[in-house]
């Protein structure tokens, strides 16, 4: 098996802050701009009018997929309390984890982040939405994974 350094060389930037864990934040780069969100609704979802109502089913499908994955792995999703020390909760689950590698814990929390809101602003007979950034509360999922090779 190749060492991590060889696998990641010239592929990603990796900044290691501590020696016992790696934090990976996943996001879809194209959705970080309003135009990217509109293109996603039009091109990926196939709807000519980029209505914000079309995003709720995508979010629900993601939540359902995470819940199904947790069930298949025999995990209960932990609802993190406000200001809970997530790493402490993960350590407690790791202490009881009996496998050499796998998903130790899936946690979720409602947290504030920058997101999009939309306002309907029709132009004559054309349906139109204006998207703008603002702070919103969304569900964040945390996957704590133990990898014996990493």
Task: Give the pLDDT confidence score for residue 14 in this predicted structure.
Answer: 56
Q: How many domains does the chain have?
A: 1
- Whether the pLDDT of residue 17 is over 80: the answer is no
CA distance 41 to 46: 7
Average pLDDT (100-122) is 90
* CA–CA separation, 104 and 141 (whole Å): 13
Q: Which domain holds residue 117?
A: 61-146
Assess if residue 126 is contained within a domain. yes
Report the alpha-carbon distance of residue 52 to residue 55 in Å, rounded: 6
Asked whether residue 10 is assigned to any structural domain, the reply reads no
Which strand (E) or helix (H) includes residue 104?
Answer: strand 102-120
DSSP 122-142: -BTTB--EEEEEEEEEEEEEE
- Give a yes or no: residue 106 inside a domain: yes
Model-level pTM?
A: 0.75
DSSP letter at 113 equals E
Higher pLDDT, 63 or 29: 63
Report pLDDT for 139.
92
Query: Does a structural domain hold residue 40?
Result: no
Distance CA 71, CA 114 (A): 30
Is the Cβ–Cβ distance between 115 and 134 less than 8 Å?
A: yes
């Amino acid at each position: 098996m190749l060492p991590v350094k060889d696998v990641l060389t010239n592929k990603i930037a990796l900044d290691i802050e501590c020696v016992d864990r790696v934090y990976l934040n996943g996001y879809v780069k194209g959705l970080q701009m309003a135009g990217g969100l509109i293109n996603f609704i039009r091109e990926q979802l196939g709807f000519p009018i980029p209505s914000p109502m079309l995003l709720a089913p995508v979010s629900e499908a993601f939540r359902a997929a995470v819940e199904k994955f947790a069930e298949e792995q025999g995990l209960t999703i932990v609802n993190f309390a406000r200001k809970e020390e997530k790493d402490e909760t993960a350590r407690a689950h790791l202490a009881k984890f009996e496998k050499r590698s796998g998903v130790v814990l899936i946690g979720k929390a409602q947290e504030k982040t920058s997101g999009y809101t939309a306002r309907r602003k029709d132009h004559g007979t054309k349906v139109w939405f204006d998207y703008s950034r603002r702070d919103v509360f969304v569900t964040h999922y945390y996957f704590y994974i133990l990898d014996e090779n990493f």
